[in-house]
Amino acid sequence: MSVSLRAVVLNPRVAAALVFGFVSGLPYALSQGTLQAWLAQAGVDLKTIGWLTLVSLPYTLKFVWAPLMDRYVPPFWGRRRGWMACLQLSLALMIFLLGQSDPTGALTPVAVLAVAVAFLSASNDIVIDAYRTDLLQPHERGLGSTVTQLGYRVAMLLSGALALILATPLGWSGTYALMAAIMLLTVLLSWAAPEPQAEIIRSPSLRAALVEPFVQYLSQPAAVGLLVLVLLYKVGDATALSLSTAFLIKGVGFTVTEVGVVAKTTTTTALLLGTLIGGLLYVRLGLFYSLWCFGILQAVTNLLYSWLAFAGHDILVMMAAVGFDNLAGAMGSTAFGAFLMALCDRRFSATQFALLTAIAALPRSLVGPLAAAVVAAIGWVKFYMFTFGLGLVPLLLLWVLRAKIERLDEPR
């Protein structure tokens, strides 16, 4: 289906994806990095702060309760928007209460409230991912994935970097109160958001809601192959990035300041550009060719790290390697996000999307020890050549599954 770029960019459904990317990203740092900064300033010991990082577990385990959000519907604003409103109200309250707690006294209330914020935030992510999957048409998924990431990153800057700046004039309680007020205002966005067009028939029972998403997915052609592709598509990229900071400091000899100022600035710029370019190109290329072309770029740009390992301490080569690798990685993530949406049945989009993202995250969580062993055995130059080869493996599977993936791009 031929659709103009202008028609996609100006679409209210794409605008909704941008807005709810922001809503999804806003609470995350408040129970993670921002909270850690507050605890550190309050004099909480490092070991305790380390244990409190476990409050992020709900983001990993969110697929466990996702079926509840497919099965049950709040009594107002529909299946997705009603849940979003309930969760945003609850988040505003918990964020406010967290800000009023005192980490210099009893830490238990702080930990309980932080877990509550993380749980509600992860639940909010479940519903927003499902809403976006239900709402966007196939030709809108690439740009929808793009603007979601842009909105998420803006919100992370607000509740992360800006919150740390505001903590001096406002205090931590005032900063968290401000973030709670912004969260409360997002309820208006849920009220004004467009409703998905398709009418969804819900599962008749909770048991069915737990079983049917798996039965439906596994009953489609090439289901196992598509799952393997979900697992492997970003494996080369994840392996290359797993030790990237250690490589820049220990492998090439850059200082921590050089890595912090040059590499991280280059990374942020490249990620934003790659996300935007990937979304715009997706409109022209479609799902298969976006996955294919961006996947090739992901693999090839890993070789730039081999060049850097060979060149040694060279700022310009580092900027090129880090910049182009993250540019390609962001483009690949845009197409991959659209791919995950295409795999979901709208009846079970909350459950299936949560499961697919959990599967996709496995390589990022597990490749670190393997990467370190490979580096120890063959060195940095050959290691990044190895990640190039690793990035080509899912492209072979992608080509085998081409017909199925092109069908996913058709309206349903």
User: Of 122, 151, 159, which Cα lies nearest the Cα of 35?
Assistant: 159
**In angstroms, rounded to a whole number, what is the distance separating the alpha carbons of residues 214 and 229?**
17
Class of residue 162 by CB neighbours under 10 A (exposed 0-12, middle 13-18, buried 19+)? middle
pLDDT at 204: 66
Average pLDDT over residues 116-131: 92
Model confidence pLDDT, tens digit, residues 331-363: 999 899 899 988 988 888 888 888 898 888 888
**In angstroms, rounded to a whole number, what is the distance separating the alpha carbons of residues 31 and 36?**
8
User: Of 125, 70, 58, 148, which Cα lies nearest the Cα of 337?
Assistant: 148
**In angstroms, rounded to a whole number, what is the distance separating the alpha carbons of residues 388 and 367?**
15
Model confidence pLDDT, tens digit, residues 389-403: 999 999 999 999 999
**In angstroms, rounded to a whole number, what is the distance separating the alpha carbons of residues 270 and 4?**
26
Predicted TM-score (pTM) of the model is 0.79
pLDDT band at 48 (very low <50, low <70, confident <90, very high): confident
**In angstroms, rounded to a whole number, what is the distance separating the alpha carbons of residues 23 and 100?**
22
pLDDT at 2: 46
Residue 269's SS3 state is: helix
Q: What domains lie within the chain, and their CATH numbers? A: 5-202 (1.20.1250.20), 210-408 (1.20.1250.20)
